[in-house]
Structure 1
Amino acid sequence: MGAGSEGSTKLDLAKAAAIAAADIMNPTDQGGVLAFDANWDWALPFRQVGKGEWISERLAGLQSDGGTDLYKAMVEAYRVIATKQAAIKHVIVLSDGLTDKADFQTLVTRMAHEGITVSTVSVGNDADVQLMADIAKNGKGRGYVALDPQTIPQIFTTETLLISRDLLIEKPVTPTIVTPTGPLKGISQNSLPALRGYVLTYPKPRAELLMRADKDPLLVSWRYGLGQVLAFTSDLSGRWGKDWVAWRGFPQWASQLARDTMRKILETRMRTDFQADSESIRVVTDLVSREGKFLNHLRLKANITAPNRTSQQQIFQQTAPGRYEGRFTPSQRGVHFVTLFAEGKAGEAPLPVATVPYIAPYPKEYRQLKPNLALLSRLAEDTGGEMLDPANFGEGLRRLYTPTPGKSRQGQETWWPLAGAGLFLFLADLVLRSWPTRKVSI
């Protein structure tokens, strides 16, 4: 966005437009704001929109210095957006178009060829509307003219909604099976019916593409923790999947997908012992099959979750037939959950074994229940006292409270007169506080 003769007004409206567009975007969408005058600067570098509070905070200090070099700003926007992985890449240019002459046609055509569309918003009575319209045309976007600058935020929201609708591809398309194994085993490509639409997406970096519609992903799978996730970008209702749900192979396809996402458990008989070894804990696990045979050569690992919900992963080593050992150091006192799982083959989800709890007790010094007689004896000796024998405790107390000859002739209790004096003073204070007083007017 740029600013011309009405700098501050246009800039404030541009800020409001960016905030309004972010409010209707999906939290997982990415956005950025490139401000430019004579130079360009990423006022908001690309990141996920989230809840959007950070946008207004970062835009608050944005100021305009005058001048407009639109071409350099668009080159920078093209450089950054081209590296992003997204289903839709779109640029909205807000400017008066009063800039130095440059080869905008070649730049914008190249952007459109690489899937980056460009829309423009002309603002100002002296705006170069023709240049802005040509940029939008070559960029396969839409051109707007804001005769009233107050309409700029509404234009941005309208453009954002239109771009969001481009995510819906509504046309007949026959899916293609990319990976005919796993959940798609036994599904014939020739028997697949057509779909009437799907949502345009892009696969995650580690996702496995199972089916596609044209060149876009239709069915993908990826691992999440110890589980498996499947995403189907069409629907199973009458809008897009009417022919799909009526397909004879639909029950087989749906049931195989469901079974592939179900949690697979390694059926074993297990015994786990926790053995304290200095500050660490040694975990010893014995695994046998249902038939009583040792389970050997497993790539056993464990996720240890602490009370504060942080986790660490440890590798277990086989030390004997069916026996695996690992170590971890408790991060704090409380219950730690140790989830054991066996790594599968490449591309397969791990097989959970079991989750067992371990309670990290208090430190050792709090568990020493025996008295420290040596320390108590030293304290008594240094202070002129003595150690009382627990076996003759009564005799020791009598000796302790018996006056020592030559130091005093008798013992006398003095607690009751002191307690009586304290009670008297307390009652006197209550009486004085509640005693009525006369007020004298002057």
Structure 2
Amino acid sequence: MSLTFLHPEAGWLLLLLPVFVWWARKAAPLRLVLRLAVFAALIAALAQPSLIYPRRGAPQVFVVDQGDRLSPAVREQVREAVTAAVARRRADGPVTVIQRGGAPLKLRADRFVLLGAKPSDDSLTKALALALNVLPQGAKGRITLVSDGLSTDRDWGRAVDGLLSRGVAVDTVTLAAGRQDAFIARVATPVVGAGEHIPLHVGLEGAGQGLSIAVFDGARRVAAIGPFDLDGALTVSLSLPGEPSGYHALRLELSRDGQVVSRYQTDLAVQDPLPLLYANGRQAGAGAALQRLLGDGVRVETRAPATLGTMNLAAYRAVMLDDVPASALSASSQARLVAAVREGGLGLVVSGGEAAFAPGGYADTPLAAALPVEIRQDELTEDPSVALAVVIDTSGSMLGAPLDLGKQVARLAVRKLTPADSVGVVEFYGGRQWVAPMQPARDIPEVERAIGRVQAQGGSEHLFGALQEAYYGLQNTQARYRHILVISDAGVNADRYPQLIRHIAEDQVSVSTVLVGGSAEGEARMAQWARLGRGRFYVVNDEFSLVEINLKQPQQKPEPGVKRGGFVLAASAPAYGWSGLTAPPPALDGYARVGGRPLADTLLRTGTGDPVLASWQWGAGRVTALMTEPVGEGAAGWRNWDGYGDWLRRLIARTADRRPDWDVRLGRVGGQVSIVAQRVRGGGDGVPSLRLLGDGGGEQFLAPVARAPGLFTATVQVASDRPVRVEVGEAESVTRAALPAFAGGDPDRPLSEADAMPLDQLSRLTGGEAFDTVAALAAKPGFQGEEAAALDLWGWLCWLALALYLADILYRRWPPRRTAAGA
């Protein structure tokens, strides 16, 4: 026992006591003593003295596992180590042992408690709470936990809070559980929509060979996998077919050699079908055909394109414009639709052929800027076919230089022709005849030789008949343009030529004229013929004024916006989130030609590189372009593709706004279920309805509590062996969430290592020590031995000073005693 002072420097104040004695020397002796005692007590209190004395150590509690999960060798090691540790600790303070399962240990403990009469006794939370209750209030004590950390529940949070608030240190020894037979430890069920394939991830633990898993929806077997071997922990993934909206109770059975060794029941919450607003421009009954193709996963609502400008687009997750021309969708409706995508997160799918993209007139429209493809109208250079009939004047007036010039003009004209054209040469003098009959222009040199053989002879009065002959020869030709080229010196006097030429021109045959030699009168006459024949007039006076008469003039015309035929598709590099949609589908029968955008994900292309499927993020939403009609002529070959409906449904779902209206989180602590609902879509501020659905179809409405704008919570009591089904709704929108019963509804299911308490973290959190082995625990000496305690005296000294001060006041005010004599 010893006395210590926290502030010994306060003792210097004792030097003031002699000064006080001198100042109060005339006072009564007793009063002087009382006042000196008051000041001395106050100075001693300021020094804050403490009395240190030894006492026995704080209480010790051992929580020890001896359940059947541990092997006999491990249980024996635990028994020996705990026996040695308890014997050593009893010298430091009282020891209590709480045993979980197994036969009672023979220990010399001050108190012994055995847990394990009921399955709930295996709760680690219950054991820790009992250990904390053993420690007296105000005594910190120490708890030693020798366990594998496995428990029938995970409700140890409150027990840990109690340990921290009391400042109780927990030492731990983590034991290795024995080898267990294979069992289903956990099942992860995602949030899915109606009709979607369901990925199911099953966590297995233990050991076994020749295992298989079967999944049942009621009495219907929906998936299976196996056989496989297991040694330790393993996660097995299965894919379940799409289910209609609502709740589905799934039962999983783990079998070996045909015998079920483990069961697990879980609930699957399937959301309502994805609402799709569908607008079609050309095809009757396309909405119903699309609904049959997509199945239950999408609810197709067909509307006329003109109504999109007034509809509530927020009620839908996606809008699909299928072969809708720009004329059917006003610019204001397009701007409203694009704004809903960019700002509200709406998904937009634009598809089609003859009435979409460039053929639909969307260039320079509000919608064109949001598309992940470039709308373009390519120009096609057309080299039209020509049928040419050359009429050469070989009358006597053409003798010499005029005929030579005419031959050269004719040769230059026919040299411009291609094998796709036709050509013929007619000469006239005293009569008319075909020097070269109408024929494909495949042998131009032969035609030139025929021209070279003509000779000037006879008169020119048969030009009229030659024109008729040329006209008749052109009538049977298949060419884009038909021409008659008249080469003459205009030495004719007939007045009936204008009427004939007008008739020829009305039959889409043009007449051009070339004057070689001749007079001014002849020049006026042939110029009039060319004008009436809708052709051209040329004058050739000598070889220096020769002209090349090119009747083949290439034309620019818009290239067809839709290509028809069989087109093999190739996949581009898979983009994020599109890996299941980029496998090349069957050949396409037709598509609209567009250009690609550098920032878009082009997923499918033709062999020539034209985009067929492209998508990109546009603000808060996504826009996808499919350059064909999903239920029309362009995709006719896809209707025999077994995976077409699922492929198209996933395409729409990937584009749509997939955010739920509410993010619903369920948590279970023992029998108490907590519900947290956070608004995700919509800007409403109303209170949602919360329904708890029972197994038998009953329902219970809960009162949500607003914690923040759009955030609501509720709690409800549900037995841990019952599943939880909750619906959160507002108006017609419903979001479902489910929580399976504890341990999958199987009370005999072995404890999972995933549910184990992290013992080393518990030691670090409470300031205890984590031992690697039970042998280390046995070798550890006593923690405290004889514990020292401190008693603070400054408070008592303050009370003493107060009492002395009151005694001084009482002495001064006490009436003086009178002796009997004085009376």
Tell me if both proteins adopt one fold, taking TM over 0.5 as the criterion: no
When Rg is computed on C-alpha atoms for both structures, the one with the higher figure is: 2
**Greater per-residue strand proportion:** 2
TM-score, length-scaled by structure 2: 0.21
